[in-house]
Structure 1
């Protein structure tokens, strides 16, 4: 570990701290006024759509794609089939941009949960806020873990210390400037990631030889079976396989409509635009993020070829064996010139902090809205005390998120199966995305289908329980805590990919809400179309 960290020189550290200071200064200069809740959470609804689109891409890509995708390809069974998921992602952005955005912009709201509350009642709004908070804590803790891996590689510090450092930086950035600062710093990180990815790609492929990289990746044998590590399409029908064409066109549209249409982390950016037209352009044009995914897949193939030609040291091999996600940070620190490695590490670190401060701002906003109600937020939006309260809530959520990240690190390193950061991130949000998407559909069709709050609540509980039962996370966590009795249950379950739980839990929650609503009478929910 120290052998790797020693490659990160004082000059690199100067670059890291210089970049962080520059980003902080620019964020401070771009923050604008924060006299109202609207200024703090939505940037005054005056941000250009191109900046918002860049911020959406930066949040989506972040250090998770930058580190996780190359590691996923480098792993022995890794390939490019992850790219198929881009089909569902692009389809979902078009749906959100052309259908949901105009509906959201019909009135002054701060989040999709305000919309659901208007259609289905405050009880439902509080429920989806809880689901969003749970999903955010689970999903964003993976992003913190990714950056902690980078920080651990260059410093040699333990994982817990790295996580706490990241959390401290995120609180400072969030309190400094609200969403305006978040979006403009996201744009900076997006630029650094593009530069770092392109340089790494050209460096790897040129050094090994373009033809050699392709040949090496397409002639891999595992236990006598040939594997094409640059394969894109997979038409397998095994429900346990995640990266297939069928998952891409059936399951991933559900995941991405939930991600861009109901997750406040992304939706909050959409609400920062001045008009529905600008918001639509921001979300649809963010589809170019798939090109960055393609770039990082190519980096992964380059890394596999590099370490096939250049045998890793004993220290490097130990880190790669521990976790394939270590491969890109180790290569950056060990092979790139002094200064450049500092810039790329600084960009990865700053991007993670930027993603984290985004979710802290979103959690603070939804917490206030759920507690005080949308009308109170609108009536007291100019009250400085509300801004002060929002800052306090940011601090509370930062503590909870850092704690969950530490627990997730126990879970992650206790998993004896394939350690994929990308899979882990998508798996974390699969617990809540289906129920929240189902509630959004109920809100959209609230006058056309029967529903009840009791049915929504029951469907949500069944969905979360089903996901927990079918996936490994709860078993890994209890195993890390010394409760090995659950191992039998884990081994005897049917094997289904987490990806299928996006549509399954959406249908389960929606169907249960309608069934119970048909059986039990309810009071009509408030419908914003009656205004």
Structure 2
């Protein structure tokens, strides 16, 4: 094995992964039922849920790629405009959707769709989540494996399996409690790693902080806001990624989809002790994410200053700059700690993905099929042990699936992987459109909702591969296409059956009575 880093740093990295597994085993030593395994017994503090939300949405790609945005020629801080939209979206999620989820003893976000439309809508939405979530996170596992391969100098497939198996183990034993508490630890690790790297970078600059500020201002890298909205010969609102309008509006709608309807985030709200605690965690996470992105972008400016003034160098890929600096310039020991931060970001996302996928598979598919009588049994006491075992089995299944996807991605080009990740991100707008259909249209029914989801997928695929529209607008387009087509289909297509109509009338009656 030809290590790119010292044996001490490699050991720190391996010990960190083993410590995560040990934490999962210790936290999960008293798991007794499905609620404890998938929802932490619905008794976790709001600040832990806050940490988990932030860590979950931060992957290795975020940790390494966001600095590359500010490092690139012509790069700047305008990415933070998206973070403003993310914060606005979370406020809306907290006010509108969180109380809805915390009202009953549900396990997944898609049970709300069953109450409104019926079982088929719930299962279609859940299946869409499972497919896109595991596809996307399998590809993120591949990207994390590339980073580990460069660091340890060992086979890529082995690196993918190593990260995947470590994540499976602590998620399998610890369940949601292990995921959330390890997320909090990993948030501290990767934020500390980023701050440490920034301090060392500034120390390498001859003029220190003053030189960094001067370089950032003179190169235009500290530009934050871009209020342009009218198209010109050199600018188009719809194709430019980082403007105030695409950031605020697109970022807000994207967050409504991800944090409002994605099981991976909704599951965290269900772990809170109260609806108010869940709301506090959601809103505060937006503030922390803004600060996190500001740190990563400032790192990118510092990297640009360093590789311009101290060690002039060009890079083929901007997202490789930070990783290169870590391996080449940090002292022995600090390299291992900072790399542990990189993989903390990866493992936090992957563990959350496994646990939320297991929750969706058990609650939305396995339990209704194996134990149909549970529909009238909120406690699930009689089958708690069997459902707990099923949850752990599905954790392994989805973990193996993501490892297989990660290994399969090694035979694809990076551009193909990027396109696949974009497809995996379609879920947010489509599910937001379906939830909106259920909340704002009394005439919508299950067949209309299903037509809306299919149409949303088709429209977004056409937009992605047939236009140059910037990705922040995808969630808006997907949600509007899903809502509009679902509404129109509900007007012209008859409801599925008298029984289905009865279910819809009952659900509307329940909504009105509440």
Q: Same fold (TM over 0.5)?
A: yes
1:26–1:172 Cα change, 3 Å: closer
- Deviation, 1:410, is 5.2
1:205–1:392 Cα change, 3 Å: same
- 1:84-483 to structure 2, matched below 5 A, reads 84-208=81-205, 209-220=208-219, 228-237=220-229, 238=236, 239-287=238-286, 288-311=288-311, 320-321=315-316, 323-371=317-365, 372-373=367-368, 375=375, 378-381=378-381, 382-408=383-409, 413-414=414-415, 427-445=422-440, 448-472=441-465
Distance 1:401 1:171 in 2: 10
C-alpha distance after superposition, 1:135-186 (max 9, x if no partner): 3124323532442232122122344332222211121111111000000001
Conserved? CA contact 1:450–1:515, under 8 Å = no
1:483 alignment partner in structure 2: none
Conserved? CA contact 1:434–1:501, under 8 Å = yes
- Deviation, 1:254, is 1.1
Q: Secondary structure at the residue paired with 1:521?
A: coil
Distance 2:429 2:59 in 1: 23
- Deviation, 1:278, is 1.0
Distance 1:370 1:97 in 2: 24
Decide which moves more: 168-177 or 382-391: 382-391
Conserved? CA contact 2:241–2:470, under 8 Å = yes
C-alpha distance after superposition, 1:407-438 (max 9, x if no partner): 555555246xxx9x8x985x344422111001
Q: Secondary structure at the residue paired with 1:383?
A: helix
Conserved? CA contact 2:239–2:468, under 8 Å = yes
Q: Secondary structure at the residue paired with 1:76?
A: coil
Query: How much is the aligned-residue C-alpha RMSD, in angstroms?
Result: 2.4
Conserved? CA contact 1:430–1:467, under 8 Å = no
1:338–1:424 Cα change, 3 Å: farther
Distance 1:103 1:309 in 2: 54
TM-score normalised by length of structure 2? 0.88
Conserved? CA contact 2:21–2:166, under 8 Å = no
Distance 1:124 1:170 in 2: 31
Conserved? CA contact 2:49–2:281, under 8 Å = yes
Residues paired across the two proteins, number: 487
Q: Secondary structure at the residue paired with 2:107?
A: coil
C-alpha distance after superposition, 1:325-376 (max 9, x if no partner): 1111111111111111101212321331232111111111101122133727
C-alpha distance after superposition, 1:188-235 (max 9, x if no partner): 101111211111112212321223223334445xxxxxxx22221223
Distance 1:353 1:376 in 2: 37
**1:506 maps to 2:484:** no
Conserved? CA contact 1:439–1:456, under 8 Å = yes
Q: Secondary structure at the residue paired with 2:79?
A: helix
Q: Secondary structure at the residue paired with 1:61?
A: coil
Q: Secondary structure at the residue paired with 2:110?
A: helix
Distance 1:428 1:158 in 2: 28
TM-score normalised by length of structure 1? 0.86
Conserved? CA contact 1:470–1:496, under 8 Å = yes
Give 2:58's match in structure 1, choosing from 50, 57, 61. 61
Give 1:47's match in structure 2, choosing from 40, 44, 48. 44
Decide which moves more: 275-284 or 39-48: 275-284
- Deviation, 1:256, is 0.1
Distance 2:127 2:158 in 1: 28
- List alignment gaps of at least 5 residues for structure 2: 230-235, 369-373, 496-500
- Deviation, 1:249, is 2.1
1:162–1:271 Cα change, 3 Å: same
**1:76 maps to 2:73:** yes
**1:24 maps to 2:21:** yes
1:143–1:331 Cα change, 3 Å: same
Distance 1:453 1:12 in 2: 55
2:470 alignment partner in structure 1: 497
Conserved? CA contact 2:51–2:285, under 8 Å = yes
Decide which moves more: 266-275 or 14-23: 14-23
Distance 1:158 1:290 in 2: 36
Conserved? CA contact 2:448–2:489, under 8 Å = yes
Conserved? CA contact 2:69–2:318, under 8 Å = yes
Distance 2:343 2:171 in 1: 15
2:371 alignment partner in structure 1: none
Decide which moves more: 493-502 or 357-366: 493-502
